[in-house]
Structure 1
Amino acid sequence: MKKIITGITTTGTITLGNYIGAIKPMLDLQNDNEMFMFIADLHALVTPSDAKDLRLRISNASAIYFACGFDPKRTTVFIQSEVPAHTQLAWILNCHTTIGELSRMTQFKDKSAKKSSNGTETVPTGLLTYPTLMAADILLYDIDLVPVGKDQKQHIELTRNIATRMNNKYGKDLFTLPKEYTNDVTAKIMDLQDPTKKMSKSSDNQKSFISLLDKPEVARKKINSSVTDSENLIKYDPVNKPGVSNLITIYSALKNEKIDDVVKHFDGKNYGVLKSEVADVVCELLENIQTKFNTLVGTKELRDLLDRGKQRATEISNKKLKLINEKIGL
């Protein structure tokens, strides 16, 4: 049995891309592994928001996790900020990480450039130290596998480097070295309007992504207006046909079918049929999730489930933090 963890930030809505790339793989794994899932509200502070909006997004994200099918008997679901060991270990890891390592992180370079492209905007320190908090999220629980998209692998590499450095200094039994778990077929869902980019909840174009809380009819319209090409040939070719390939990937993931089988299914059919059938499976997913979500969000039942997860996560992380403090001299 492996220990596995994942967290999704609340910097926007949870998208279909998040579901296929992170949530669904976890659902497939929870029966045979020890699972941890957290709402990464501390990571969300990198993007400014007002308190009322942040609380709402935390509540929505929590309810969606359970609505997607996570079983609290098998998966420990908790809110990151409610387990203080995360920030305590993050500071310790900061002190064992160099500025050079953090400034070379691709996401830091990309996001800081966008935030201050003309040099007049300030870049928050949290954007630089984000990876050490992520490393703390992982190392606190002696995690074996971390489901990640292709753009997150660098974070796992940094986590392993920090853990190895501290193991060498304080004892090889201090940290478990995590490995990334990537589903090569469904790890990356692309933007519906610009399929050369990853689907992102931070996009300014609402048509470019599907939220798990989008009304099914809205999601259908977004799929119907998604960018394809003029060839009208349904073929899986991410380089030359990124839009069509993205729709095939979505269908493949939600139907649990191989890419080759999906392509055979659509052989001889046009893009209208492809979009219609992709929309059907997406809308079915959204309807199921939203029915469960609406019965759970804002209720005492949800708070009780999160309190149960917080208690278990706190017990495990405090025990680990105590060991770390003893090893490093605190």
Structure 2
Amino acid sequence: MNLIKYGYRISQSSQFSRSISSSTTHHPTIYFTGIQPTGIPHLGNFFGSIEPWTELQNTVDKETQMMLSVVDQHAISLGPLPADQLRSNTHQMTASLIACGVDPKRTLLFRQSDVPHIAQLSWILGSLQTTSKLARLPQYKEKQQRFKKGDIPVGLLTYPLLQAADVLTFKATTVPVGEDQSQHLNLLGGLAYAFNKTYNTEIFPIPKQLTRESHARIRSLRDPEKKMSKSSGGERSRIEITDSRESIIEKCTKAQSDNAGKVTYDKENRLAVSNLLDLYSAVTKMPISEIQFSEWTTLDLKMNLAEAIDKKLKPIREKFDELQKSGEVDKILLENGEAACEIAEKNLKEIRRVVGFL
């Protein structure tokens, strides 16, 4: 399957090219990605990771293994959460993924903590990594600022090891993620390479990064200089996939704009208005050049945007509500968790033997 013609870019660090070219082991193509259980996803999550996955799911060959993990262990890397909140967030995220089009019959959708083998491999990978290299990663530097010196959770530092174990436990070959994960993918490739070299094996493939070129970057409705997020800006800064029609209209009408007259697309001088047009383009799948907005007022733009978002989210809301009233999500997590464990058990037995644990 040639994914390039579908708007994807496959990349891999050149530092591993010699290892890859000399490899005699064939690893079947396996797609793997993870998503944190933050509860109900917003449009930034939808267009940034969920929709690209569903499009990929419906594009690649049917026999290709696809795995999507709700990474609840990553959710506590900054410190513990109330148990009821974590359970609820995981259930809501799983239901949201299915409502958005993730097909559990096509994608092995499972909860990370149901596969304890991942944590064991994370520990093994830790023997191949240094604290100084982990501490240089930009995301660690950014998030450590939230804590007093000396009070930084160990999980924040070792997060990339668990992330690498997520992928390598299943010997995944391809990881669909955004550009912001490139450094973590390089670290992941480095760990796979280091393990293979240290133990004179080819047990792990060197995973490739798959990025959708047309990735929509969704910005905050209240501050277009920032990305849409749950961690800042308040509820009116984002639209969640289960928001009611009334809530969508309210958030769109109160979104930041200006009083500069009819709508124009000018990111330098009219960033807020351009941000709303970008969101309209993402929702409708219409390029900016094809949107007939020259006679729109900013209120027209906001109302048209609200209508387009509501039309997009209505079937998702209805499917989510249906899932919440049934026991389907729990059944899927149970069955797929067992299936993921079977794969992990087979792979970890081989890894443990290579390391010397068996």
Q: Which residue of 95, 115, 119 corresponds with 2:127?
A: 95
Unaligned runs of 5+ in 2: 2-28
Which residue of structure 1 aligns with residue 319 of structure 2? 292
1:79 aligns with 2:111: yes
Q: Which runs of 4+ in 1 moved over 3 A?
A: 228-242
Which residue of structure 2 aligns with residue 161 of structure 1? 190
The 3-state SS of whatever aligns with 1:77 is strand
CA contact (8 A) 1:150 1:188 kept: no
Offset, 1:293: 1.0
Q: Deviations 1:279-320 (Å, cap 9, x if unpaired)?
A: 112112322112111111263222222222112211222222
**Which piece of structure 1 moves more, 315-324 or 184-193?**
184-193
Q: How does 1:117-196 map to 2 (within 5 A)?
A: 119=148, 122-171=151-200, 173-196=202-225
Unaligned runs of 5+ in 1: none
Aligned counterparts of 1:66 and 1:6: Cα–Cα separation in 2: 15
Aligned counterparts of 2:267 and 2:180: Cα–Cα separation in 1: 16
The 3-state SS of whatever aligns with 1:5 is strand
Q: How does 1:265-284 map to 2 (within 5 A)?
A: 265-284=292-311
Q: 1:51 to 1:258 in 2, by over 3 A?
A: same
Letter of the structure 1 residue corresponding to residue 210 of structure 2: Y
Aligned counterparts of 2:121 and 2:262: Cα–Cα separation in 1: 52
Aligned counterparts of 2:233 and 2:293: Cα–Cα separation in 1: 32
Aligned counterparts of 1:311 and 1:240: Cα–Cα separation in 2: 54
Offset, 1:152: 2.1
Q: How does 1:1-330 map to 2 (within 5 A)?
A: 2-33=29-60, 34-47=65-78, 48-113=80-145, 115-116=146-147, 119=148, 122-171=151-200, 173-203=202-232, 205-232=234-261, 234-236=263-265, 238=267, 240-262=269-291, 265-297=292-324, 299-330=326-357
Aligned counterparts of 2:259 and 2:192: Cα–Cα separation in 1: 50
Offset, 1:258: 3.0
CA contact (8 A) 2:220 2:233 kept: no
Letter of the structure 1 residue corresponding to residue 51 of structure 2: K
Equivalent residue pairs, number = 325
Q: 1:95 to 1:249 in 2, by over 3 A?
A: farther
Identity %: 38
The 3-state SS of whatever aligns with 1:4 is strand
Aligned counterparts of 2:127 and 2:262: Cα–Cα separation in 1: 54
Aligned counterparts of 1:328 and 1:249: Cα–Cα separation in 2: 50
The 3-state SS of whatever aligns with 1:309 is helix
Aligned counterparts of 1:173 and 1:98: Cα–Cα separation in 2: 22
Offset, 1:12: 4.8
Aligned counterparts of 2:135 and 2:346: Cα–Cα separation in 1: 31
Aligned counterparts of 2:89 and 2:325: Cα–Cα separation in 1: 11
Letter of the structure 2 residue corresponding to residue 320 of structure 1: N
Offset, 1:233: 5.8
Indicate the RMSD between aligned Cα atoms, in angstroms.
2.2
Query: TM-score, normalization: structure 1?
Result: 0.90
Q: 1:209 to 1:69 in 2, by over 3 A?
A: same
Letter of the structure 2 residue corresponding to residue 92 of structure 1: I
Offset, 1:164: 1.7
Query: TM-score, normalization: structure 2?
Result: 0.83
CA contact (8 A) 1:149 1:187 kept: no
Offset, 1:102: 1.0
Offset, 1:11: 3.6
Q: 1:86 to 1:276 in 2, by over 3 A?
A: same
Q: 1:272 to 1:303 in 2, by over 3 A?
A: same
Offset, 1:141: 2.1
CA contact (8 A) 2:39 2:93 kept: no
Letter of the structure 1 residue corresponding to residue 332 of structure 2: L
Offset, 1:238: 4.7
Structure number with greater Rg is 2
Aligned counterparts of 1:121 and 1:217: Cα–Cα separation in 2: 46
Offset, 1:50: 0.9
The 3-state SS of whatever aligns with 2:103 is coil
CA contact (8 A) 2:245 2:310 kept: yes
CA contact (8 A) 1:186 1:253 kept: no
The 3-state SS of whatever aligns with 2:73 is helix
**Which piece of structure 1 moves more, 160-169 or 177-186?**
177-186
CA contact (8 A) 2:223 2:233 kept: no
Letter of the structure 2 residue corresponding to residue 108 of structure 1: Y
CA contact (8 A) 2:73 2:112 kept: yes
The 3-state SS of whatever aligns with 1:56 is helix
